[in-house]
Amino acid sequence: MKWIDRAEARFGHLAITRLLHGIALLCALSYILSLANPGFFSLLELNPALVMEGQVWRLVTYVLVPQIFSSLPFPEWLNAAFFVLFMMWMGNGLEEAWGAFRLNLFCLVTMLGITIAAFLFGAGYAQYMFVQVLFFAFARFHPDLQIHLYFILPVKVKWMAWFDAAILAFQFTFQSNSFRAALLAVLGSYFLFFGREIWHDLRHRKTVAARRQRFEQATAVADDDTLHRCQVCGQTEITGPELEFRVARDGHEYCTGHLPKPTTAAP
């Protein structure tokens, strides 16, 4: 997009390389510190009321809280390790596809949207949504990449993304307003960066589908434009070029294999 190109030309030198690597390592550090102080995560979480009291670091540090919950009965330390490795893996793929500046800008715009939503409706899902939109961006660039979930189950990234999207859509119907606002905020940043591309893809698919339909219709017409067709099997000189066709006494045309035998008149 042109505005991103102009911003990169002017501010590209300010980009932080390996941004998600740094976030992942700081997440690991925050988890270790939480083992010594169980309340440590509460010092990092986005809390609009405390931000207004002067704890402005929370506008940034909430992304340093690792996701240590899981639907599987794994210990917290293992979930934290998976999360750190996952963030670094996404960072490699996003920075390779996007470049450091665009990844930085995407994170910044996403965090800005999350912050606005948090101040208006609450911040219970800030860090969770930040990771989700990063994964959706990663899936946009690497849809057919296969990973082994928890090093066991092979699955393509695009199917994981569609599953996550379905879960989020389901949760949107009954979760709190803070959840809905955070989800809409990250979707806004996602479509800001990918909306034009998605729109072009949809238009291209529609054009391709229309061309395919016209081709199939033309092929069907071409198949009907034949000189010979067997009344029994429907074969033509196009579908069965080796066949010979004859017109019987009943006025219909048959291939030689289905040509009616002449009846013998009774004496």
**pLDDT tens, residue by residue, 197-227:** 888 888 877 777 776 776 666 555 555 567 7
Is residue 105 predicted with pLDDT exceeding 80?
A: yes
- Residue 253: pLDDT band with limits 50, 70, 90: confident
The answer to whether the pTM exceeds 0.85 is: no
pLDDT of 176 strictly over 60:
yes
The DSSP secondary structure of 186-235, one letter per residue, reads HHHHHHHHHHHHHHHHHHHHHHHHHHHHHHHHHHHHHHH--S-B-TTT--
Among 83, 98, 92, smallest CA distance to 24 is for 83
In three-state secondary structure terms, 229 is strand
Minimum mean pLDDT range among 54-58, 80-84, 199-203? 199-203
Per-residue pLDDT averaged across 218-239, rounded? 72
> What are the domain boundaries of the chain?
2-203, 227-262
Tell me the per-residue pLDDT of 108-158, one tens digit each, with 9 for 90 and over.
999 999 999 999 998 889 999 999 999 999 999 999 998 887 667 889 999
pLDDT over 60 at 70, yes or no: yes
